[in-house]
């Protein structure tokens, strides 16, 4: 069964450093998402992406965050200057259409900011 | 009022019994609803989705939707220890043509052998 893949599985970074989280969505999917989950809290929406542009972003997704689809397969989330509070699990998800289609999640990247 | 509310549990159910998980949502215009299972330290795994009022069955799982009451539930029949996990209720929210999932806090379910 096709799946969303994320790398790395665990990223440890010093505060203030830039970090890039990578995702390969399911190949025929067109809609891409990033969510995050701080330890012990609920899953929160960060950003959605379609047709090479952001469709919607949450209040969390400030100027320190950016997303990119650099080629036909990868979808990346960049955090320019990491803060301690950015420590969380980051999940990439994709769906083949909008309009109520289920989103399929990758295994996530655990980001630890020191 | 939270957009999606779940009882955080823990909910403890004996093996072989029916586990019943509940969720309420605030946006009356919501159209699609999802149940994800999340094992500790893992990602959400899609279990069921439901769009229409009534019941939808898939193996041991039944999702129930009552839009008038803004209520979604998940029943797990013949519960197994492997069903022990946190169950996340999610509602699809549309804003200006874009969609996103809004999650509840999750209900931690423990199946006791």
Residues 6+ apart with CB under 8 A from A36: A43, A44, A46, A60, A88, A89, A90, A91
Is-contact B92 B49, C-beta < 8 A?
no
* pLDDT tens column, B22-31: 999 999 988 8
**Predicted pLDDT of residue A58:** 94
Mean of pLDDT values over A39-67: 94
Option in A31, A42, A107 nearest B103 (CB)? A42
Kindly list the residues from chain B whose CB atom is less than 8 angstroms away from the CB atom of residue A102.
Answer: 34, 46, 49
User: Which residues of B are less than 8 Å from A56 in CB distance?
Assistant: 95-96, 98, 100
| Closest CB to B100 among A42, A45, A99 | A45
Kindly indicate the confidence band of residue B95, based on its pLDDT and cuts at 50, 70 and 90.
confident
Interface of B with A (CB under 8 A): 31-32, 34, 36, 42-46, 49, 51, 88, 90, 92, 95-106
pLDDT at A99 (0 to 100): 61
Residue B29's pLDDT is what? 87
The predicted pLDDT at position B91 comes to 95
Comparing CB atoms, the residue among A41, A44, A91 nearest residue B43 is A91
Rounded Cα–Cα distance for residues A29 and A101 (Å): 11
In this predicted structure, what is the pLDDT of residue A1?
A: 72
The answer to whether residue A98 scores a pLDDT higher than 70 is no
Express as a percent the part of chain B with pLDDT over 90. Answer: 86
pLDDT beyond 90 at B97: no
């Amino acid at each position: 069964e096709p799946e969303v893949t994320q790398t790395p599985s665990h990223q440890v970074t010093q505060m203030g450093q830039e970090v890039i989280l990578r995702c390969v969505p399911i190949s025929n999917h067109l809609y891409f998402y990033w969510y995050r989950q701080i330890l012990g809290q609920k899953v929160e929406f960060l950003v959605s992406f379609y047709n090479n542009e952001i469709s919607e972003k949450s209040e969390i997704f400030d100027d320190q965050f950016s997303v990119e689809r650099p080629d036909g397969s990868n979808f990346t989330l960049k955090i320019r200057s990491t803060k301690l509070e950015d420590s969380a699990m980051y999940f990439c998800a994709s769906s083949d259409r909008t309009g109520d289609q289920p989103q399929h999640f990758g295994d996530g990247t655990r980001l630890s900011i020191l | 009022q939270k957009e999606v509310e779940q009882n955080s549990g823990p909910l403890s159910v004996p093996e072989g019994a029916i586990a019943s998980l509940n969720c309420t949502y605030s946006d009356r215009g919501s159209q699609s609803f999802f149940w994800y299972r999340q094992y500790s330290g893992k990602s959400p795994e899609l279990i069921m989705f439901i769009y229409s009022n009534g019941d939808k069955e898939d193996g041991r799982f039944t999702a129930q939707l009552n839009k008038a009451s803004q209520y979604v539930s998940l029943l797990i029949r013949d519960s197994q220890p492997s069903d022990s996990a946190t169950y996340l209720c999610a509602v699809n929210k549309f804003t200006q043509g874009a969609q996103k999932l809004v999650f509840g806090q999750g209900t931690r379910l423990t199946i006791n052998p």
